[in-house]
Chains A and B, each alone.
Chain A
């Protein structure tokens, strides 16, 4: 309960910060909308001239891309504070987090949600809903595995970020690792089925961006069998468990060097 109150306080503070500077909020939001829209326009025009890519139609490719953005934006909204972890480490500010009577992981993971991404999320959800209702035909039952796999994707994203934080404690290097995570996930802007082997397997089971971004969309289209859905959940839970173990391990080696 204490943790929920704490997270609520973090969200409330971030919202106040976002509202405080509306022009900057607007500039970044518009930029993000432009970025998503331009790539979607590219997919639209590219597939208008071709029948399909990798067996997927134009509308399917756009939904893959929108769902990628939905998951990516949700992860950024929740875990934005990870991007600010390095200054906290090298300034010694992390000491102040450790002495407080709550789990430090909450502070460094969800301590600064990004409300620009929240606004972006609303736009994305509206667009996806429009596409699903008016453009494509999707069975209602497909929504259950789809939503569960979205939650699973966020669990894997959390595990990724916890790994980055733990490596940050051990090496003080966070920024580039987070950006490499971002660049890796950007590979899933198109369905991983488009990649040839062995890259496809690598992106599914070693670096699980396929499970994170392509599987939910495939489940929505009814293209994912139950064995793969089950494998995804096992993967999500195992990765979260391992990341938490690694986090606890790294905390033992925290040197508080700058404080």
Chain B
């Protein structure tokens, strides 16, 4: 455990090494949320409700997207694991007394902590600038459920991306192809641009069987308090199921991948 704590500390410090890159990355996150904010702002001009949401609920959703997306998606492992398998740098880790996936999971959490600190400041600044009416849940059950489901979402995202990246074991020349597909699907289907219940019921029902809503949409739904108690139970069952399944598949694929890993390019 102590070695992972050291990795966490070093990774946290490492994030400060490339300060300009980090600041530009945060600027990009704010820009992404601006379009969504103004789009929904325009939808609610002259309307009290739309798609079952009031303006304060929708504004809470939009602001939460910045926070949840930052928390779930801050993962430097995605930029490194694929290339380390492809160019053979993985070998350096395999000979060390450390679990490679745990190593990157620790680094991801260091990045999440730093990004969340900045996201909090950004949300506060945007709130001061735009002064939107925001309505979050005032029920502790929803709040704690939302926080717990968000933490699970970060783990699901980690394991899902490792499943996708493990393609590099079998196709080391193109580790990015499937990742691009995953990120494209994540961008829209996770609920990062719009609440998924805006879609027709049959499409929404199908989406609930994929892992994407459990990454952004359901955590926010709980934080906003826009759910019933039976829905909370269903969300928890879905989240835990995807966590267990994605972890199992990623570990299985990782073990099989290591059997075909040839350390080429090293």
A244 at interface, CB cutoff 8 A: no
> Count of A-B contacts with CB under 8 A?
84
* Residues in chain B near residue A199, CB distance under 8 A: 34, 38
Q: A31-B181, A35-B187, A45-B198 are in contact. List 20 more A-B contacts (CB 8 A).
A: A31-B180, A31-B184, A35-B188, A38-B188, A42-B194, A45-B199, A46-B43, A50-B47, A53-B39, A173-B21, A176-B28, A180-B24, A180-B31, A183-B32, A186-B31, A187-B31, A189-B35, A194-B39, A195-B38, A196-B38
Instruction: Determine the distance from Cα of A251 to Cα of B28 in the docked complex, in whole angstroms.
Output: 28
Task: Tell me the chain B residues, 167-202 only, with Cβ under 8 Å from chain A.
Answer: 174, 177-178, 180-181, 184-185, 187-189, 193-194, 198-200
A249 at interface, CB cutoff 8 A: no
Known contacts A30-B181, A180-B24: A50-B35 contact under CB 8 Å: no
Instruction: Determine the distance from Cα of A17 to Cα of B184 in the docked complex, in whole angstroms.
Output: 24
B50 at interface, CB cutoff 8 A: yes
Instruction: Determine the distance from Cα of A163 to Cα of B35 in the docked complex, in whole angstroms.
Output: 24
B41 at interface, CB cutoff 8 A: yes
Residue interface bits A173-195, CB-to-B below 8 A is 1, else 0: 10011011001101101100011
Task: Tell me the chain A residues, 1-50 only, with Cβ under 8 Å from chain B.
Answer: 21, 23-24, 27-28, 30-32, 34-35, 38-39, 42, 45-46, 49-50
Instruction: Determine the distance from Cα of A35 to Cα of B180 in the docked complex, in whole angstroms.
Output: 10
Residue interface bits B36-64, CB-to-A below 8 A is 1, else 0: 00110111000100110000000000000
Dominant secondary structure of chain B at its interface with chain A: helix
Instruction: Determine the distance from Cα of A28 to Cα of B180 in the docked complex, in whole angstroms.
Output: 7
* Residues in chain B near residue A176, CB distance under 8 A: 20-21, 24-25, 28
Tell whether, in the assembled complex, residue A190 and residue B35 are in contact, meaning their CB atoms are under 8 Å apart: yes
Tell whether, in the assembled complex, residue B177 and residue A28 are in contact, meaning their CB atoms are under 8 Å apart: yes
Chain A: minimal CB distance from B43 (Å):
6
* Residues in chain B near residue A54, CB distance under 8 A: 42
What 4 pairs across the A-B complex have the smallest Cβ distances? A176-B24, A38-B188, A183-B31, A27-B177
Tell whether, in the assembled complex, residue A53 and residue B42 are in contact, meaning their CB atoms are under 8 Å apart: yes
B117 at interface, CB cutoff 8 A: no
Instruction: Determine the distance from Cα of A98 to Cα of B209 in the docked complex, in whole angstroms.
Output: 55
Interface band, chain A: 20 to 34
* Residues in chain A near residue B39, CB distance under 8 A: 53, 190, 194
Tell whether, in the assembled complex, residue A50 and residue B43 are in contact, meaning their CB atoms are under 8 Å apart: yes
Instruction: Determine the distance from Cα of A195 to Cα of B200 in the docked complex, in whole angstroms.
Output: 27
Chain B: minimal CB distance from A1 (Å):
37
Nearest B-chain residue to A45, judged by Cβ: B199
Instruction: Determine the distance from Cα of A146 to Cα of B194 in the docked complex, in whole angstroms.
Output: 31
Known contacts A180-B31, A183-B32, A190-B35: A27-B25 contact under CB 8 Å: no
Instruction: Determine the distance from Cα of A53 to Cα of B35 in the docked complex, in whole angstroms.
Output: 13
* Residues in chain A near residue B185, CB distance under 8 A: 34
Chain A: minimal CB distance from B102 (Å):
29
Nearest A-chain residue to B23, judged by Cβ: A176
Tell whether, in the assembled complex, residue B177 and residue A24 are in contact, meaning their CB atoms are under 8 Å apart: yes
Chain A: minimal CB distance from B35 (Å):
5
B27 at interface, CB cutoff 8 A: yes
Tell whether, in the assembled complex, residue A34 and residue B43 are in contact, meaning their CB atoms are under 8 Å apart: no
* Contact among B31, B43, B178, B200 for A53, CB-based, below 8 A: B43
* Contact among A23, A46, A183 for B194, CB-based, below 8 A: A46
* Residues in chain A near residue B51, CB distance under 8 A: 46, 49
Instruction: Determine the distance from Cα of A46 to Cα of B36 in the docked complex, in whole angstroms.
Output: 13
Chain A: minimal CB distance from B29 (Å):
9
Task: Tell me the chain A residues, 212-259 only, with Cβ under 8 Å from chain B.
Answer: none
Instruction: Determine the distance from Cα of A173 to Cα of B27 in the docked complex, in whole angstroms.
Output: 15
Tell whether, in the assembled complex, residue B198 and residue A46 are in contact, meaning their CB atoms are under 8 Å apart: yes
The winner among B31, B42, B193 for most chain A CB atoms within 10 A is B42
Nearest A-chain residue to B196, judged by Cβ: A42
Nearest B-chain residue to A182, judged by Cβ: B28
Task: Tell me the chain A residues, 43-83 only, with Cβ under 8 Å from chain B.
Answer: 45-46, 49-50, 53-54
| A–B Cβ pairs within 8 angstroms, 29 of them | A27-B178, A28-B180, A30-B181, A31-B180, A31-B181, A35-B187, A35-B188, A38-B188, A38-B189, A42-B188, A42-B198, A45-B198, A46-B43, A49-B198, A50-B43, A53-B39, A53-B42, A53-B43, A176-B20, A176-B25, A179-B28, A180-B24, A180-B27, A189-B35, A190-B38, A194-B38, A194-B42, A196-B41, A199-B38
Chain A: minimal CB distance from B164 (Å):
12
Instruction: Determine the distance from Cα of A46 to Cα of B195 in the docked complex, in whole angstroms.
Output: 11
* Contact among B35, B177, B178 for A187, CB-based, below 8 A: B35
* Residues in chain A near residue B188, CB distance under 8 A: 35, 38-39, 42
